[in-house]
Amino acid sequence: MQETFRIAARVVAACVLAVSIAGCLDRDTVKPDIGPMTYDASGTMPCSAGAPTFDQACGWRVVRKPGGGAEIWISNIAVRDRPDYRVLIFSQGEFSARDGVPLRVTKDGDQWTITANGQEHYRFADALITGG
């Protein structure tokens, strides 16, 4: 039994495995943006990438702000290879994107339709913002 252990120890000591993967991020310096852990409501909304077909469902979370504002975190329909969010900020009756991409915003009745960067399409009710 001792001889078997010595042989195994020599084999392990002689082997070294070095792995390098191009394109990976250092987990100690880059933290993924996982969205808010505390929020007022969550659900899914119609969405689509490319054409405004709204044939997909995107998860969302909203953090409502005093004075009627809100921060809406939506699973970004245009990003498939990693978790990513489209963060919309609603303040003083207007929308903006946290990352500054251009938005096209329309409202029909109580339904908002937002196109971000010309490629991401989202639709949701006013109640998402107001809580009503």
SS3 content of the chain, % helix, strand, coil (to 5): 15, 40, 45
Q: Does residue 4 fall inside a structural domain? A: no
Q: Does residue 97 fall inside a structural domain? A: yes
What is the pTM assigned to this prediction? 0.74
CA atoms within 13 A on the CB side of 106: 5
pLDDT at 101: 96
Q: Does residue 82 fall inside a structural domain? A: yes
Q: How far is it, in rounded angstroms, from Cα 116 to Cα 118?
A: 5
pLDDT at 34: 74
Q: How far is it, in rounded angstroms, from Cα 23 to Cα 98?
A: 25
Q: Does residue 49 fall inside a structural domain? A: yes
**Residue 123 belongs to what domain range?**
41-130
Q: Does residue 10 fall inside a structural domain? A: no
Q: Does residue 98 fall inside a structural domain? A: yes
- R_g of the chain computed on alpha carbons: 23
pLDDT at 17: 46
Q: Does residue 25 fall inside a structural domain? A: no
| SS3 state of residue 116 | strand
Tell me the two tokens of residue 34: 């996982």
Q: Does residue 121 fall inside a structural domain? A: yes
pLDDT at 31: 52
Enumerate residues 6+ apart whose C-beta is below 8 A from 49: 56, 77, 78, 119, 120, 121
Per-residue pLDDT of the chain (132 residues; tens, 9 = 90+): 444 444 444 443 444 444 444 545 554 544 556 778 899 999 999 999 999 999 999 999 999 999 999 999 999 988 878 778 999 999 999 999 999 999 999 999 999 999 999 999 999 999 999 997
Q: Report the domain count for the chain.
A: 1
